[in-house]
Amino acid sequence: MTTGTTGADVGTDAATDSVLACRDVVKEFHVAGAKVVAVDRVSLDFPAASVLAVVGESGSGKSTLARMLLRLMPVTSGSISFRGQDVTHLRGKQLRTYWSQVQAVFQDPFASFNQFFPVGGLLRRSLALSSVGREEADALIEECLGYVGLTPAQALNKYPHQLSGGQRQRVMLARALMMRPKVLLADEATSMLDATLRVNVLNVLHDLKDDLGLTVLFITHDIGQACYLADRVAVMEHGKVVERGSTEEVIFAPRADYTKRLLADVPDLRGSLKRRG
Amino acid sequence: MSTTGASGTPAPGPGTGTPTLLARAVDVSAVYGGGDRDFTAVDRVTLELGEGEILGLAGESGCGKTTLGNSLAMIANPPLYVVEGTLEIDGERIDLTTLRGDADLKRQRPYRGGVVSMLPQGAMNAISPTLRVRNLVHDVMRAHDRSVTRDEALDRARDRLTMLEMPVRVLDSYPHQLSGGMKQRVITVVSTLLNPRLLIADEPTSALDVSSQRMLVEMLLAMVEQRIMSGVVFVTHDLPVLSQVSDKLAIMNAGTIVETGPTEQLVHDPQHPYTRKLLSSVLDPTQETRARGRDRRTRSTPAGGDL
């Protein structure tokens, strides 16, 4: 199924300037007495100022991997390093510092807001927790909203339900950026958006990578989005990385059977239209 | 019309040439509210569907496509009111309006489920987690025909599953024992057990992986081929899926149909600016998408734009 490797994971990236990296990461769950290996010896590197897409179907383990990288879930075995430092077992203040450096945006922006408070309150609260002063906070909020193409007037006094889906997701991006992270982890961050909004949010992510040197881990089930945005792609199946490489290699010259099957199942808009014989 | 026939035998396969008219929805309008602050979600929509055809209804969130589907399936509930419109099917004209409350519902009841069946959004999550699929089958059939026995219902379901090359053992499963894709195919089979003339499927593929999507799409095509139902209105925001499955497309925006036509023509030669915008937003894994991604900086997000 894979490309001729002996281990569970297919090779590793040869990047030397990785901001974030994981080595042989395993996550096991025990369900009703049975052991389920959700992530099976995955090693990945995240080079600075690049977008790595992790592509896979439901249950492939991509979100579990993301949660371990975010240190929201302990690894069963393996290690995670951030800027050369092992962060696998960080605790307390050091872990909080790590969290400020590695920010995440999830699928449903609405679920991340408190609906009873305006967006400005949410953003200021995030900064207050980081001991940033009020004036400094306002300047930072304005700066970060600017990165995602919003002005304070458009967002701060609005309640979450008054924003469109795309605006909500961009506010979540701004919130993540306020911590001046080195890594942004986007877990299906554009899946709930309409097609026309999705392209715009992907463009924002690309701009952030270029302008701020952000490293983006883009987790998606949609190989088309990876094709549009990513520099490199890793394909996951049943907890393992079955193929990895540059976007061109993986999407246009796939070697793993699973990648080929995944690509073959993507409906082709202009290709074989409806064919009922 | 094969609404209550117990045999479930499908009609012969489709003929050739232009299909005969199966259904025509005329001037359908639906509003939310019903008071001074009405919001018109569907605005005088007219659609036609031929025998054996699949009509793809595409549009973005909030464009009114689900509301239109609910109106055609006669399952509009307050605060949604269908204020205007008829559905002509098999020469019968059904008044879709729901403003008169119970009287309307009673009048429409013979058509709901039997003539027009609805596969609502997220239907696979609506299967009772404590009942086996076989119980669902019986419940659904009895809701339309009190005289159906458990054995008759199960025989029909077994025949149908066999016909569609699906494992009959799913009847003995609980929902949690089935994958998402299988659940969605099972609920599709159950919702068409009564051989509806028209099936309205609302986002049936949206929560599925691409491989499960393909299986469902192939099953729907087989069902139409075998005349389990005579036509489908396939509602989704996913244009690539629609282009695979539909004979005709209708593009909806802000409650109206902005463009309609044969799928191939509409995909290759869209006329309306909104259709063009929608098609250009599709990201499929092609060299063209890759090239667009590479030069995206020239078309970056407009600051302050309402995304």
Describe chain A by its helix, strand, coil percentages, rounded to 5: 40, 25, 35
Q: How many CB pairs under 8 A join A and B?
A: 148
Q: A267 CA to chain B: closest CA distance, Å? A: 5
Q: Is there a domain that residue B217 lies in?
A: yes
Q: Is there a domain that residue B13 lies in?
A: no
> Whole-number mean pLDDT of chain B?
86
> Using the beta-carbon criterion (under 8 Å), do B210 and A165 form an inter-chain contact?
no
CA B273 to chain centre: 25
- The ipTM assigned to this model is 0.82
Q: Lowest mean pLDDT: which of A1-15, B64-78, B220-234, B274-288?
A: A1-15
Confidence of residue A129 (pLDDT cuts 50, 70, 90): confident
Confidence of residue A16 (pLDDT cuts 50, 70, 90): low
CA B144 – CA B132 distance, rounded (Å): 20
Given B211, B217, B283, which is nearest A224 (Cβ)? B283
Question: B90: Cβ–Cβ under 8 A, 6 or more apart, which residues?
Answer: B1, B22, B115, B197
B126 close to B154: Cβ distance less than 8 angstroms? no
User: In the 8-state DSSP scheme, what is residue A8?
Assistant: S
Task: Read off the tokens for A170.
Answer: 């961009």
Task: Read off the tokens for B121.
Answer: 């959004």
A249 close to A13: Cβ distance less than 8 angstroms? no
CA B203 – CA B119 distance, rounded (Å): 9
pLDDT value of residue A9 = 55
CA A40 – CA A24 distance, rounded (Å): 8
**What pTM does this model have?**
0.83
A12 close to A44: Cβ distance less than 8 angstroms? yes
Kindly tell me if the per-residue pLDDT of A146 is higher than 50: yes
> Using the beta-carbon criterion (under 8 Å), do A199 and B267 form an inter-chain contact?
no
Question: A190: Cβ–Cβ under 8 A, 6 or more apart, which residues?
Answer: A169, A197, A198, A201, A202, A220, A225
CA B73 to chain centre: 9
Report chain A residues whose CB lies below 8 A from the CB of B285. Answer: 223-224, 226-227, 251, 263, 266
* Element at B25 (helix H, strand E): strand B21-32
Average pLDDT over residues B257-271: 95
Q: Is there a domain that residue B186 lies in?
A: yes
pLDDT value of residue A114 = 84
Q: Residue for token digits 């909104």? A: B274
CA A156 – CA B168 distance, rounded (Å): 55
pLDDT value of residue B10 = 42
Q: Is there a domain that residue B123 lies in?
A: yes
pLDDT value of residue A271 = 62
Mutual orientation of helices A165-177 and A134-147 as an angle, nearest 10°? Answer: 130
CA A149 – CA A202 distance, rounded (Å): 13
Sheet with A34-47: strands ordered across: A34-47, A18-31, A77-82, A85-86
Domain count, chain B: 1
**Rounded (5°) CA angle B131-B132-B137:** 100
Report chain B residues whose CB lies below 8 A from the CB of A251. Answer: 285, 290
Q: Is there a domain that residue B292 lies in?
A: no
Report chain A residues whose CB lies below 8 A from the CB of B244. Answer: 267-268, 272-274
State which amino acid sits at residue A116: F
Q: Which domain holds residue B235?
A: 21-282
Average pLDDT over residues B211-227: 91
Instruction: Find out whether the peptide bond into B79 is cis, omega within 30 degrees of 0.
Output: yes
CA A50 – CA A53 distance, rounded (Å): 10
pLDDT value of residue A7 = 44
In degrees rounded to 5, what are phi and psi of residue B83? Answer: -100, -15
Report chain A residues whose CB lies below 8 A from the CB of B60. Answer: 194-196
CA A178 – CA A175 distance, rounded (Å): 5
Kindly tell me if the per-residue pLDDT of A272 is higher than 90: no
CA A164 – CA A150 distance, rounded (Å): 12
Sheet with A51-56: strands ordered across: A102-105, A183-187, A215-220, A51-56, A232-237, A240-246
Q: Is there a domain that residue B302 lies in?
A: no
Q: Is there a domain that residue B287 lies in?
A: no
pLDDT value of residue A242 = 97
Average pLDDT over residues B254-276: 95
pLDDT value of residue B305 = 38
CA B282 – CA B293 distance, rounded (Å): 12
> Using the beta-carbon criterion (under 8 Å), do B285 and A203 form an inter-chain contact?
no
Q: Is there a domain that residue B223 lies in?
A: yes
Number of H helices, E strands in chain B: 10, 10
Task: Read off the tokens for A126.
Answer: 């995030």
* Element at A42 (helix H, strand E): strand A34-47
Kindly tell me if the per-residue pLDDT of B8 is higher than 80: no
In terms of C-beta density within 10 A (0-12 exposed, 13-18 middle, 19 or more buried), how is residue B107 classed? middle
pLDDT value of residue B127 = 85
DSSP string, B47-102: EEEETTEEEEEE--TTSSHHHHHHHHTT---TTEEEEEEEEEETTEEEE---TTTH
> Using the beta-carbon criterion (under 8 Å), do B301 and A200 form an inter-chain contact?
yes
CA B144 – CA A65 distance, rounded (Å): 48
> Whole-number mean pLDDT of chain A?
87
User: In the 8-state DSSP scheme, what is residue A103?
Assistant: E
Task: Mark which residues 27-66 of A lie under 8 Å from B by CB.
Answer: 57-58
Task: Among A108-117, A119-128, A229-238, B206-215, name the most confident range.
Answer: A229-238
pLDDT value of residue B34 = 64
Q: What is the CATH number of the domain that holds B96?
A: 3.40.50.300
pLDDT value of residue B11 = 43
Average pLDDT over residues A18-40: 93
Kindly tell me if the per-residue pLDDT of A44 is higher than 80: yes
Q: Answer whether A224 touches B (CB < 8 Å).
A: yes
User: In the 8-state DSSP scheme, what is residue A277?
Assistant: -
- For residue range B14-28, what is the model confidence (pLDDT) as tens digits? 444 677 999 999 999
In terms of C-beta density within 10 A (0-12 exposed, 13-18 middle, 19 or more buried), how is residue B7 classed? exposed
| Closest-CA residue to A222 (of B266, B224, B208) | B208
Report chain A residues whose CB lies below 8 A from the CB of B253. Answer: none
B34 close to B81: Cβ distance less than 8 angstroms? yes
CA B100 – CA B113 distance, rounded (Å): 21
Given B210, B283, B301, which is nearest A265 (Cβ)? B210
Report chain A residues whose CB lies below 8 A from the CB of B293. Answer: 202, 206, 227-229
**Chain B CA closest to residue A261:** B211
